Amino acid sequence: MKLVWLTGLAALALLLGLAGYLWALKPGIVQLQLAFTPRAFGEIVHAWSPQQLARYRIHLFVDGLLLLSYGAFGYLLVVRTRLFAGAAPWVARLARWVLPLAAVFDATENVLHLWLTQAPRFGVPVVYAVSAGASSIKWLLLFSFGGLVVYALARAED
148, 98 in Cβ contact below 8 A? yes
pTM listed for this prediction = 0.95
What span, in angstroms and rounded, lies between the C-alpha atoms of 48 and 21? Answer: 14
Output the pLDDT for position 70: 98
What's the pLDDT at 104? Answer: 98
Domain boundaries, the chain: 2-157
Peptide bond into 89 cis (omega under 30): no
Give the model's pLDDT for residue 156: 77
By the 8 A CB rule, do 108 and 55 touch? no
| DSSP type of residue 92 | H
What's phi and psi for 63, nearest 5 deg?
-60, -30
Do the beta carbons of residue 86 and residue 155 sit within 8 Å? yes
Give the model's pLDDT for residue 120: 86
Where are the strands (E) in 65-158, listed by range?
A: none
Q: Which residues of the chain have pLDDT under 70?
A: 158
Task: Identify the burial level of 15 via C-beta atoms within 10 angstroms of its C-beta, where 0-12 means exposed, 13-18 middle and 19 or more buried.
Answer: middle
CA 128 to mean position of chain CA atoms: 17
Q: What is the pLDDT of residue 144?
A: 98
pLDDT at 126: 98
